[in-house]
Chain A
Amino acid sequence: MNYRLLYFFLGKLCYTCAASFCLPLLLGIFLSEDSVYAFLQAIVTSMCLGFVFSRFGNTEDAGITYREGVAIAGFGWFVITFLGSLPYVFAGILDPVSAFFESVSGFTTTGATAIAQIEVLPRSLLLWRSLTHWIGGIGIIVVFIAILPQVASGSVHMFNAEVTGPSSERVLPRIKTTAIALCKVYLFFTLVEMVMLYFAGMNLFDAVNHSFSTIATGGFSTYDTSVTHFESPVIEGIIAFFMIIAGGNFALYYLVGEKGPQVLWQDTEFKVYIAIIFIVTAAISLNLYVDGYFNWVDSFRYSVFQVTSIISTTGFVSNDFDVWPPFSKFCLVLLMFIGGCAGSTAGAIKVSRIVILTKMAFAHIKRTMHPSMVVDISISGKTVPNTVIAGIVRFFFLYVILFALLAFLMAMTGLSVIDSIGIIAATISSVGPALGVAGATCTYAEINSFGKFVISIAMLLGRLELFTLLVLFRPEFWRSTRNW
């Protein structure tokens, strides 16, 4: 394990965090808010921590393997979520556990909030909140598209934009170019949405925050009632449009820039993603309309927003779906498990995995008839190797088991069966709002500290796609071996 490299990256991370505090700091100074001091303290703490790490880190040995990638991803998250909770604590807004919760919720782009009253907060803090989403989103993209595929073939699957890494010397520069390209796409979409929202009637502050939150598929809003506050179909439409985009594969978008839009239609995952959105929107709209909830226009309007919000795991709310009929709520919970496309900022199991699992399951039905038949699973025209399929099957099993375990822990806090299930489903998939106690119009403020801690673990596990965190439990991970 290349510890020096690890410390180097962690140090850089601390400095980046300190730098990102500057933006809300400036806003705070501009608006003469008291929270300025909280940010100053946070900056100082980050700089100190960064300094400590940098003393021990260097990049003389640039050998980066899966182990280092995982360690950077795993520990990096802990460092940044810790630092990110400081402003809330120093400003006296939240207790340490809730602050950690809010910070984790921010960086994992979940969007579950522990703040009971959002609108009374100083604007610099609100900006920081949304900024944590945006930074978290970039982090996801860089780690899961740029870094990990280069160093661990088979553990992360980018079926279209896969750039297989050859030898280790040329890996780091490759990572750099890919990362920069993706950041450009990300920034582009953020800016376009910002502008469009501004012209749709939002003030500048709201536009900035909501576009940060959308492209990162986070879900933090500057209002207690989330997007319901605006009561504007135009704004809902814009946000829905960008939520769909943010739930798609960013590497694919980069390819679109190089080769043109037909890349999208050739991608199985993207097609299935859009199809699911269509089908579920139709189902929920029908359900709402037939059961007399809304007229058909509103049924469609609220349905399409909520479906895109949940499948992209953003978590914005345009209507209190907690009072919707059971079928619609189940559909939404199902979407929480499906999630967005691989290579997006969305969480959950991901469409590509679901596609492969389904194909594999149905291939077996064929195989019961012809036991020696060899079945090829292919996606977007390329065959999926068996090791990858095995990994996906394992992932599905672990996801379900961890979900059950975490829900079990949640139930210990006394919440009802449905609430426990809903909360973990919504947080392990980084959606945000759940059902009942933590429903569409509520916050997580009332949950006890143990519960908040369990949820924080759920958010981190889900965001890091389980294995990345769980592999830290294997003793082999820590032992240095010479045969590497």
Chain B
Amino acid sequence: MSLNYVVAMLLIALGLYCLLLKRNLIKMVIGLGVMTDGIHLFLISMGYREGGIAAIVPAGMLQDNVAAGFASAAVDPIPQALVLTSIVINICIVALALSMAIWVYHHYGTLDPSEVRRLRE
């Protein structure tokens, strides 16, 4: 179980490294994706429960007076909703970033961010 958190933190660290130190826009976008995926894994792990059931109450369950058993078995549904939302947002970011990278290459002939700095001059 705690392996999840270790992997999540590793992914975040690797993504951050890639985003900050790589000198290629495509790799930076990949790094951003990896980092966000790490955060997603972290979020979803918090709601995970081994052998858990979906947090949907079947019709007979409440009548059988096992609501307490349900609460102790069901997974936390909120992180799943959050991650789903966040994945969609991340797709938008990656798509927009890649399309901008194409335009950068179109204008500058390179993807090295240290050469894309004509505005400073």
Chain A complexes with chain B: no
Residues of A near any B CB (own CB < 8 A)? none
Residues of B near any A CB (own CB < 8 A)? none
